[in-house]
């Protein structure tokens, strides 16, 4: 007579001792990140009479605040575009380079990440002034007749921010390009495909996940940058990040600072979530 064994229930993942290794990190994130964000969220919806959406109504009804949002999105878009135009071919050059050249290029791209944004911004103050390298170069090329100052201008801000965020565009695209077989273009050429056709129908679709990731990284960081605009263009050009810092540090207006911080956080989260969904969709389709 055989006895039927009792069905064993599936082990709970929470009983896995390896999961316990993540507990300190989770507690740290909850205390350092989740709690301040929750405080900002509650502060932005709190008024003298309790919970209210009046801070958001007041923010949206002020034309100055709309200009601030426009400044934030416009600068972030230009920085992202500039990084993409430079970073896309650089990623291909990095992926197709020889071993020695590739190591040199990787070091050149990664090493600047060890330098703080404040140091880089101060360096760009020297580069962008009237007697700086950029002004002298444009005069030497005949584009400008006389040296001009790019410091404290929107163009100078875009150049400085793009230089700082460029590695975050190159590396995601490079990680995708290095997986593409370079013989695909040669195979297309043998079938009569022109280089432009091979690029638009084969190469570009295969690199779209890397492009989406790079654009998400650069755009989200450009939207939320605070130190770089403060040093390269000053207080007369306000973005959501600088307005948030000014509200807390100078005006002592915690409600306005909380409101702008929540709007900025919503933009950043929307960019990350949307890009993640798009990257997975493109990755599955390719």
Work out the number of other CB atoms within 10 angstroms of the CB of residue 48.
6
Mean pLDDT for the stretch of residues 6-25: 69
Q: Residue 275: its pLDDT value, please?
A: 80
Strands (E) located in 52-188: none
Q: Is the per-residue pLDDT at 222 higher than 70?
A: yes
Q: Residue 195: its pLDDT value, please?
A: 80
Q: Residue 285: its pLDDT value, please?
A: 58
Give the model's confidence band at 263: pLDDT under 50 very low, under 70 low, under 90 confident, else very high. very high
- Considering only CA atoms, give the Rg of the chain: 25
In a domain, 264, yes or no: yes
In a domain, 120, yes or no: no
Q: Residue 5: its pLDDT value, please?
A: 53
Determine the Cα–Cα distance for residues 153 and 178; give it in Å rounded to an integer: 37
Q: Is the per-residue pLDDT at 76 higher than 90?
A: yes
Phi and psi torsions of 51, nearest 5°: -70, 135
Mean pLDDT for the stretch of residues 253-274: 89
Those residues whose C-beta lies under 8 Å from the C-beta of residue 132, and which sit 6 or more positions away, are 126, 150, 151
Sign of CA dihedral 55, 56, 61, 62: positive
Condensed to tens digits (0 to 9), the pLDDT of residues 124-172 reads: 998 998 888 888 888 888 888 888 888 999 999 999 999 999 999 999 9
Closest residue by Cα to residue 157 from 182, 186, 124: 124
Mean pLDDT for the stretch of residues 169-182: 92
Tokens of 99: 């071993």
Q: Is the per-residue pLDDT at 111 higher than 60?
A: yes
Q: Is the per-residue pLDDT at 282 higher than 70?
A: no
In a domain, 230, yes or no: yes
Q: Residue 199: its pLDDT value, please?
A: 86
89 alpha carbon, distance to own chain's centre? 19
In a domain, 141, yes or no: no
In a domain, 14, yes or no: no
In a domain, 39, yes or no: no
Determine the Cα–Cα distance for residues 282 and 278; give it in Å rounded to an integer: 6
- For residues 123 and 160, the answer to whether their CB atoms sit within 8 Å is no
Determine the Cα–Cα distance for residues 239 and 259; give it in Å rounded to an integer: 14
Q: Residue 166: its pLDDT value, please?
A: 95
Sign of CA dihedral 267, 273, 276, 282: negative
In a domain, 136, yes or no: no
Determine the Cα–Cα distance for residues 127 and 272; give it in Å rounded to an integer: 32
Q: Is the per-residue pLDDT at 83 higher than 60?
A: yes
Q: Is 137 exposed, middle or buried (0-12, 13-18, 19+ CB in 10 A)?
A: exposed
Please state, for a pLDDT cut of 70, what percent of the chain lies above it: 93
Q: Is the per-residue pLDDT at 3 higher than 60?
A: no
In a domain, 26, yes or no: no
Domain limits at 257?
53-115+165-179+195-285
Q: Any idea what the CATH number is for the domain that residue 220 is in?
A: 1.10.3720.10
Q: Is the per-residue pLDDT at 175 higher than 90?
A: yes
212: left (phi over 0), alpha (psi -120 to 50) or beta: alpha
Q: How many domains does the chain have?
A: 1
Those residues whose C-beta lies under 8 Å from the C-beta of residue 210, and which sit 6 or more positions away, are 91, 172, 173, 174, 175, 176, 177
Q: Residue 93: its pLDDT value, please?
A: 94
Q: Which residue has the tokens 């291909």?
A: 92
Q: Is the per-residue pLDDT at 15 higher than 70?
A: no
Determine the Cα–Cα distance for residues 208 and 201; give it in Å rounded to an integer: 11
Determine the Cα–Cα distance for residues 218 and 221; give it in Å rounded to an integer: 5
Which range among 34-48, 57-71, 178-192 has the greatest average pLDDT? 57-71
Q: Residue 283: its pLDDT value, please?
A: 59
Helices 254-285 and 35-44 sit at what angle, rounded to 10 degrees?
Answer: 120
Those residues whose C-beta lies under 8 Å from the C-beta of residue 182, and which sit 6 or more positions away, are 96
Q: Residue 9: its pLDDT value, please?
A: 55
Phi and psi torsions of 231, nearest 5°: -90, -30
């Amino acid at each position: 007579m055989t006895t039927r064994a009792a069905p064993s229930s599936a082990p709970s993942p929470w009983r896995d001792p390896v999961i316990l290794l993540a507990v300190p990190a989770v507690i740290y994130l909850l205390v350092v990140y989740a709690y301040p964000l929750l405080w900002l969220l509650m502060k932005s919806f709190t008024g003298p009479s309790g919970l209210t959406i009046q801070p958001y109504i007041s923010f949206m009804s002020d034309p100055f605040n709309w200009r601030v949002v426009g400044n934030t999105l416009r600068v972030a878009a230009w920085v992202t575009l500039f990084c993409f135009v430079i970073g896309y071919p650089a990623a291909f050059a990095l992926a197709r380079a020889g071993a020695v050249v590739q190591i040199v290029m990787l070091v050149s791209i990664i090493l600047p990440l060890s330098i703080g944004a404040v140091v880089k911004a101060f360096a760009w103050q020297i580069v962008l002034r009237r007697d700086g390298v950029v002004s002298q170069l444009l005069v030497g090329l005949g584009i400008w007749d006389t040296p001009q100052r790019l410091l404290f201008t929107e163009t100078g801000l875009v150049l400085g921010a793009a230089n700082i965020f460029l590695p975050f565009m190159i590396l995601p695209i490079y990680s995708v390009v290095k997986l593409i077989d370079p013989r695909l273009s040669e195979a297309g050429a043998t079938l009569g495909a022109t280089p432009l056709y091979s690029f638009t129908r084969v190469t570009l679709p295969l690199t779209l996940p890397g492009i989406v990731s790079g654009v998400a990284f650069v755009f989200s960081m450009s939207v939320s940058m605070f130190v770089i605009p403060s040093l390269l263009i000053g207080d007369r050009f306000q973005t959501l990040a600088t307005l948030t810092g000014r509200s807390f540090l100078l005006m002592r207006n915690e409600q306005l600072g909380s409101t702008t911080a929540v709007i900025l956080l919503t933009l950043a989260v929307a960019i990350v979530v949307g890009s993640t969904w798009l990257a997975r969709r493109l990755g599955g389709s390719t």
